[in-house]
Structures are given as C-alpha cells and as structure tokens.
C-alpha cells in the first residue's frame, strides 16, 4: 500500500549540510497500523513530510498503491493528497468557522462529491466514532479528544489508501488519548484503514501492529506486537532507553534539548508550522483551477 525505497533527505544551514534521512526503506501493508518512534531529531517529522510530498527529497522513491508519487506536482499531487491520503495532526487543523459535520465533509466538498451521498457517509462515520451528538457544534465548543476524533473522521471521508498521523495524541490528556486510539482501531478493524503514525507516545504506539524505530535519520530497528499490549509497551520503552549513546534515556518529548540535525529538521518541517495550512490551501486552489479549466 505504502512503500518507501532508499529515501535520503538533507538540510542546509549556510555551508553546513545535515543529513536528516539516510537511505530509509519501509513498507506498510494494506490494513496495517504502523508507528514510527525515535528520539527528538531522529527524522520522524521529516519522513512524514517527505512521504506526503510536502517537501522534496534528494534520493529515493515514495510509492502509494504501487505508483511513484514523489515526482508529481501541482494539480496531480493535490488530487493524490485529497483522494488517496488522509491527514491527522497534533493540533487538529479543524476550520473554526465550520461545524464538526462541515469539517468532516470538507475533503469530499473539495473533490466535488454528490451532496446526498457525502452527508450520509459523514453521518455514518460520526456514529461510528461516537461524535453524532456534536455534529452541529463548532471546534471551540468541543474537547481536544472530540476534535481529534473529528479529524480522524475527516481523514476517512475519501477512503484514502493511507492515513498519515503526526503526533495525534500529543496535545491530549490520557482519557482523550485513549479515545483517539480507539478511533484509529475502529477505522482499522471496521473500515480496513491503513494507518502510518509518527509518535513520541509509547502508550499510543503499543496499539500498533508494528513500530519502526528511527535513530539519527536511519532505521534502528523494528518491533512487532506479538500478543499482550502492556508487554509490547514495556518492550518499546526498553528500546527507546537504549537509543542514547551514554545509556541515559533518550529525549522523547518535544522541546527537549537536541542536536543540530533536529534544529535543521524543526526549521524546515511543515507539520508544526503555518506552512501546512498554506499547503492545503494550495491543493484546494489547484484542484478548483483545474476543474474550472475543464
């Protein structure tokens, strides 16, 4: 479903070149729930940005449903992101002027889907995720957990090949975090969704089928859940602790001290800046302009 082949990405600061991703290869099968973990500065956000083609890369291929999307531009890329990718972000990215129901419908509005079928599908997804009672409320009127479940519902509206989730539980309390993970699990088991999630959260990652661990821009290892979730979470925590060269626990929370590679990553990453809404706006404009020409 999603395959990354020999991906490399560098950032430059003056005369210095920082390799952020180093020959990264991975594969996510249809219906899998896969997480990427690693210390701050390991390249997780950059990897997600490259997969979604929000930023270019120096070498490698990004294959979605068997097709290389890494060289697409303009309207073609915008359509792929609208119709074949679903996005869930740490800060929700809901439009404040739209209701929950309208936010969920947005991907199909952009894609010019028939209204009756669109609204029926949105109501069904709202019922599935237990947010039917808040459909007419605005984002400012609902909790963080409800906002994120709304974001998951929105990501599923076009039945994408893959959902890309960037720290989806990062701004939530433990109760809301569990509700969001439950939403992902429902999407996987009842809708057959494929989910690729970047996270610092070992609890959230412990629900995944597999966890890919990054260190210094390269794949350090991969862990597969065999049975008990709690045992898997302990295994994840033990693995993260071994990533520090001096034996101390590696920094796994945003904002902790990091190396120059992370500073380069943070300076250019789009998932935590105002550039991402602009990218969405550009996608929408490209699709509309193409439809107008037709």
Please give the Cα distance from 13 to 249 (Å, whole number). Answer: 29
- Share of residues in the chain with pLDDT > 70 (%): 83
Is it the case that residue 132 has pLDDT exceeding 70? Answer: yes
Please give the Cα distance from 162 to 293 (Å, whole number). Answer: 29
Q: What fold does the segment set 2-293 form as a domain?
A: Rossmann fold (3.40.50)
Q: What is the pTM of this model?
A: 0.83
Angle value at C-alpha 144, between 140 and 146, nearest 5 degrees: 85
Which CA distances in Å does 289 have to 104, 106, 258?
23, 17, 42
Give buried/exposed letters for 60-74 (b at 16+ CB in 10 A, else e): bebebeeeebbebee
Domain boundaries, the chain: 2-293
Interval 2-33: pLDDT, tens: 999 999 999 888 889 989 999 999 999 999 99
Tell me, what's the pLDDT at 291? Answer: 53
Tell me, what's the pLDDT at 160? Answer: 92
Is it the case that residue 98 has pLDDT exceeding 50? Answer: yes
Q: What is the mean pLDDT of the chain?
A: 84
């Amino acid at each position: 479903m999603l395959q990354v082949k020999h991906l490399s990405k560098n950032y430059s600061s003056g005369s210095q070149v920082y390799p952020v991703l180093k020959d990264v290869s991975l594969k996510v099968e249809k219906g899998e729930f896969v997480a990427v973990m690693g210390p701050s500065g390991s390249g997780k956000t950059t990897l997600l940005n490259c997969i979604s083609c929000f930023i270019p890369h120096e070498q490698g291929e990004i294959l979605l449903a068997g097709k290389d999307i890494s060289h697409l531009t303009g309207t073609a890329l915008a359509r792929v992101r609208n119709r074949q990718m679903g996005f869930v972000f740490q800060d929700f990215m809901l439009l404040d002027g739209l209701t929950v129901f309208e936010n969920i419908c947005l991907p199909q509005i952009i894609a010019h889907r028939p209204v009756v079928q669109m609204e029926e599908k949105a109501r069904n997804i709202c019922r599935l995720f237990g947010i039917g009672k808040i459909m007419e409320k605005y984002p400012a009127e609902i909790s963080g957990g409800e906002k994120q479940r709304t974001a998951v519902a929105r990501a599923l509206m076009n039945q994408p090949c893959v959902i890309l989730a960037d720290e989806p539980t990062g701004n939530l309390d433990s109760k809301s975090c569990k509700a969001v993970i439950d939403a992902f699990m429902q999407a996987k088991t009842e809708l057959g969704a494929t989910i690729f999630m970047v996270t610092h959260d070992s609890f959230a990652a412990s629900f995944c089928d597999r966890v890919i661990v990054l260190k210094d821009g390269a794949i350090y290892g991969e862990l597969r859940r065999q049975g008990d979730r709690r045992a898997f979470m302990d295994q994840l925590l033990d693995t993260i602790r071994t990533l520090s060269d001096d034996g101390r626990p590696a920094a796994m929370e945003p904002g902790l001290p990091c190396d120059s590679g992370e500073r380069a990553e943070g300076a250019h990453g789009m998932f935590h800046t105002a550039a991402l809404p602009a990218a969405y706006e550009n996608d929408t404009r490209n699709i509309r302009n193409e439809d107008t020409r037709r």
